[in-house]
Amino acid sequence: MENKQILTERTSGILLGINSLPGTFGIGDFGDDAYHFVDKMEAAKVKLWQILPLNPVGYGNSPYQTYSAFAGDEIYISIETLYAYLKVEFDSEKVITDRIDYEQVRNIKNAHLRNAYTHFVKDEAYDSFVKEAFWLEDYVKFMSLKKQNNMQSWLDWTVHDVNEDDLDFERFIQYIFFIQWQDLKAYANDRNVSIVGDIPIYLGHDSADVYFNRDQFYLDQDGRPTLVAGVPPDFFSTEGQLWGNPLYNWEQMEADHYQFWINRMLWNQKMYDVIRIDHFRAFDTYWAIDAASNQAKLGEWVIGPRNALFDALYAALPDLKIVVEDLGDLRPEVLELRDDYNLMGMKIVEFSLNKWDLKNDVNLNKNLLAYTGTHDNQTIVGWLEELGKKGARKLRWNLRRLGYKNKDLYQRINHYTLGLPCNWAIIPMQDIMGLDNRARINTPSTIGSPNWEWKLETLNSIEAGMEYFGTLVKATNR
For the annotated catalytic residues, the residue numbers are 278, 325, 376
* Backbone phi, psi, residue 268, to 5°: -70, -25
Tell me the residue length of the chain: 478
Beta strands in 181-314 (DSSP E): 194-199, 227-231, 241-246, 274-277, 285-290, 300-303
Within 8 A by CB and 6+ apart from 44, the residues are 466, 467, 469, 470, 473
CA distance 48 to 42: 10
Distance of CA 206 to the CA centre of its chain: 19
CA distance 338 to 293: 32
Contact 296, 240 (CB under 8 A): yes
Contact 27, 74 (CB under 8 A): no
Helix (H, G, I), strand (E, B) or coil at 433: helix
Within 8 A by CB and 6+ apart from 56, the residues are 66, 67, 68, 71, 72, 73, 74, 143
Torsion of CA 51, 346, 322, 214, to 10 degrees: -80
Number of H helices, E strands in the chain: 15, 12
Any bridge partners for residue 370, and if so which? 347, 425
Lay out the sheet containing 322-324: strands in order across. Answer: 322-324, 274-277, 194-199, 48-50, 11-15, 424-428, 368-371, 345-348
The per-residue DSSP string of 446-471 comes to: --STTTT-B--S-GGGGHHHHHHHHH
Contact 109, 79 (CB under 8 A): yes
Strands 11-15 and 48-50: parallel
Any bridge partners for residue 324, and if so which? 277
